[in-house]
Structure 1
């Protein structure tokens, strides 16, 4: 019988967070999932109470920055104590051997389960939770306590690993940190033929600052000046979507850009099979928010598409400039436009990059690789915890 894992997540419903759902179903454990933001009003009373405690915890953490320091610390401690107490009771019922918490900002709300239960806690940092000022500044002391209690951490890039280790200075022993991109699913993402595809480029991601959708539009507009057949499909939604529509009109490319809204992974994979290349102009947002290692980039490479992206966060760990894609500096939309033009004009070059990217992704960056690495870490932490007992 598989060992039991308690997986603590904010939600399983966020459209862009396919990686959370993949962990819930793909790890080789008897996985019990507890969602903080999906309150089961008709479910077990303890789960309902836990969901409500997270609501209270979030409210207290938002209130804390406006309070005097001593009072703010007390408020944050209570905001952690309440959900930690309830999730500790869930642990006594479910009897897991290890606990995995998705996102650092979520893990701080339940971290006191460690001294209460003695269970090993592994924290999975994803991106904004280890880069945005609203977390690194306001939760700094809470993060330090979290990493003091945790048995290990999982991150998406080398840059993120350094950030997390810098917050783990209160530990008496080194913090094990696994760098493991979430990967893409080879059963879904395959079959692109960029050499045969029309000069249609694809972008997939939330319309938020760190995804750079407005810069992607500027780059496309530059390339489109000399290539009347060039087309762009942008998949996703978000706060910058209306501005992106307006920018496309201003740039004179509205008839050549299709805003496709939200799409399922299968629909995204089908779009990739009919595209020449994939675009991702990630950059550090004004609030410090950064990518981890964008899943859409790995999905594109696994499909066999060349990727035009930026030297940002974990992207260079996945995309090799000049070999599996083309990387440009953050904010340099002209360089991205030139890269689009090159791929549009040279289908054979696009195919070479796409084939190399697919081979590299198949050998390093599938969901299977990630699940194997994560499962090994979880088992090691559970084993070490059992030996201590």
Structure 2
């Protein structure tokens, strides 16, 4: 094997805001990296253009229900890409995209690692519809990276060997998220995430309304909720806020860059997120905003959902409630509202826990060591 590992990354896109963590991997992994994206068609770069076209054809075949044939076009082009760059490992981002290229492993002999992130291991369209293809994927993939124990269990049920699965949340950035002081901050709560069902933005709003209703008027008048993000449920959330006469208490910022989010985290008492399983089965992996809030030093009020209980310790770094328990979330927020010293204690414990276990550097180191191991095993079998 070469002194520096060569990694080929195949991903559906790098332009969407939600793919921040793919871009972080490309910047942070200590490899020679060649990355190809299914939504890019640069005419001056024929192989990249051909890959984008092949992914488009795969999508069309999937829509037509021809799932077996949908795994051929992009895989054929991926073999050409492998012959050009001679990678030690192919890393496919998202399970649904890995299904499109999975034959590259058997056709080229290069180890394939699949990085699952959340909806690709839970939702109807990206997981359940493709479940039989996922079983085939588990047979040809050399290893799998997931975000939580629940995701590992899900994929092991489809054939992923236990000794070839890495659990690694994406991690929080220590250079950006720091310096919160809950005990001196006013009773303002922050929610960060897309306005989609699995993030539970309407339940977060409902919990905040319950909080206001149970506080004395003088204290309720100082409470605010800031919601960062965009998505299909944003207009509904705004309509609820207007209909409940909460426009002076709930503030929508739209999408903000990480440093502005970090700045907001240094101005609030706590972080809230009511994640839950959506009607189509869509679930979280391990929400990065929850990690970022704790690294900043904020107590977190969230749900017992997906990987959240693995990074938030109930009663030690925040409070966890069951999915759908709006009153329980309101009660937890009330405790932080009444007791800024408690908020500070929980926030400090969260900061210590995340900085010791769940930073971006921890994630990159774990993934790097894992890919090196896969590459060594692949080289020994050739």
- Is it true that 1:143 corresponds to 2:144 in the alignment? no
Aligned positions of 1:72-221 closer than 5 A: 75-168=66-159, 176-221=164-209
Cα contact 1:218–1:251 (8 A) shared by 2: no
1:175 shift after superposition? 5.6
* RMSD (Å), alpha carbons: 1.2
Cα contact 2:12–2:97 (8 A) shared by 1: yes
Gaps of 5+ in 2: none
SS where residue 301 of structure 2 aligns? strand
CA distance in 2 between partners of 1:228 and 1:360 (Å)? 33
Cα contact 2:122–2:128 (8 A) shared by 1: no
Aligned positions of 1:254-293 closer than 5 A: 254-293=247-286
Aligned positions of 1:1-389 closer than 5 A: 2-40=4-42, 42-64=43-65, 75-168=66-159, 176-225=164-213, 226=215, 227-389=220-382
- TM-score, with normalisation over the residues of structure 1? 0.94
Cα contact 2:119–2:127 (8 A) shared by 1: no
SS where residue 41 of structure 2 aligns? coil
- TM-score, with normalisation over the residues of structure 2? 0.96
CA deviation map 1:194-217 (0-9, x unaligned): 111111110000000000000000
1:128 shift after superposition? 0.7
Runs of 4+ in 1 over 3 A off after TM superposition: none
CA deviation map 1:85-121 (0-9, x unaligned): 0011011111111011110000000000011110000
1:174 shift after superposition? 5.6
CA distance in 2 between partners of 1:55 and 1:206 (Å)? 26
Cα contact 2:270–2:343 (8 A) shared by 1: yes
CA distance in 1 between partners of 2:343 and 2:31 (Å)? 40
Cα contact 2:41–2:49 (8 A) shared by 1: yes
1:10 shift after superposition? 1.4
Gaps of 5+ in 1: 65-74
SS where residue 248 of structure 2 aligns? helix
Cα contact 1:168–1:175 (8 A) shared by 2: no
1:17 shift after superposition? 2.7
1:358 shift after superposition? 0.3
